[in-house]
């Protein structure tokens, strides 16, 4: 079993839809949970991060962490064609672990 699992997609939605992207993980030591966005032929860039469980909102983006279920989500409201990208979850722990990345979900928002 991979340490971090993510549905690779592709996921296609119409403009304005609510998008839900998810990751599951197996290592209970993870405390930091990040979402990176990667446009085609570019490097990833950090979108949001959360520490431990809970929700965090930034504009149209909401990150949720459920540590009891080892499940994290990224919600995109009012999705735009400019949101079309690959979304990578990443996580790390307090005690020396480097980031572990999920394989990414490719999202297409159709105008």
99 near other proteins (CB under 8 A): yes
DSSP state of 28: T
- CB nearer to other proteins: pick between 31 and 73: 31
Q: In angstroms, rounded to a whole number, what is the distance separating the alpha carbons of residues 32 and 10?
A: 26
Binding region for other proteins (CB under 8 A) out of 9-17, 41-49, 54-62, 71-79:
41-49
Give least dist CB 105 to other proteins, A: 11
Longest alpha-carbon distance in the chain: 44
Residue 54 CB partners (closer than 8 Å, separation 6+): 64, 65
Sites of contact with other proteins (CB under 8 A): 4, 6, 8, 32, 34, 41-46, 49, 88, 90, 92, 96-99, 101-104
């Amino acid at each position: 079993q991979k340490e971090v699992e993510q549905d690779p997609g592709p996921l296609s939605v119409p403009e304005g839809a609510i998008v839900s992207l998810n990751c599951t993980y197996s290592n209970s030591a993870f405390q930091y949970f990040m979402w990176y966005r990667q446009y085609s032929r570019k490097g990833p860039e950090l979108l949001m991060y959360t520490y431990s469980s809970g929700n965090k909102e930034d504009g149209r983006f909401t990150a949720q962490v459920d540590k009891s279920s080892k499940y994290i989500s990224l919600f995109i409201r009012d999705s735009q064609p400019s949101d079309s990208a690959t979304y990578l979850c990443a996580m790390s722990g307090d005690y020396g672990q480097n980031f572990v990345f999920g394989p990414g979900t490719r999202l297409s928002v159709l105008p």
